[in-house]
């Protein structure tokens, strides 16, 4: 390998490393959440789970009663 090829290889490798490090730092800063944000995410998750369970319970009750009428929001579930 001559000097120009070697220098080109080193520069390209260094550029790739710099790009990867930059992406990783950006990604880490995006994932870094405050305690308030974590608490909010947990509250939203609990509320969503509760809502999903209530909707599922309503669907089971309708099936057991034999009530096949459409309910507002039925098409959103599918």
For residue 55, what are its two tokens? 């909707």
Answer whether 58's CB lies under 8 Å from 77's CB: no
Residue with tokens 């098409």: 75
pLDDT of residue 74: 57
Give the residue extent of every domain in the chain. 1-32, 34-78
pLDDT of residue 21: 97
pLDDT of residue 24: 94
Distance CA 66, CA 58 (A): 12
Kindly write down the DSSP assignment for every residue of 32-75, as one continuous string: ---HHHHHHHHHHHHHHHHHHHHHHHHHHHHHHHT-----TTHH
- Chain segment 6-55, per-residue pLDDT in tens: 999 999 999 999 999 999 999 888 888 788 888 988 999 988 888 877 77
Residue with tokens 């089971």: 60
- Chain segment 57-78, per-residue pLDDT in tens: 777 777 777 766 655 665 555 4
């Amino acid at each position: 390998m001559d000097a120009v090829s070697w220098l080109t290889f080193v520069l390209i490798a260094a550029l790739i490393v710099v790009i990867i490090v930059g992406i990783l730092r950006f990604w880490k800063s995006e994932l870094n959440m405050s305690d308030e944000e974590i608490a909010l995410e947990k509250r939203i998750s609990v509320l969503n789970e509760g809502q999903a369970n209530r909707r599922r319970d309503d669907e089971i009750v309708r099936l057991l009663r034999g009530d096949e009428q459409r309910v507002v929001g039925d098409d959103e579930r599918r």
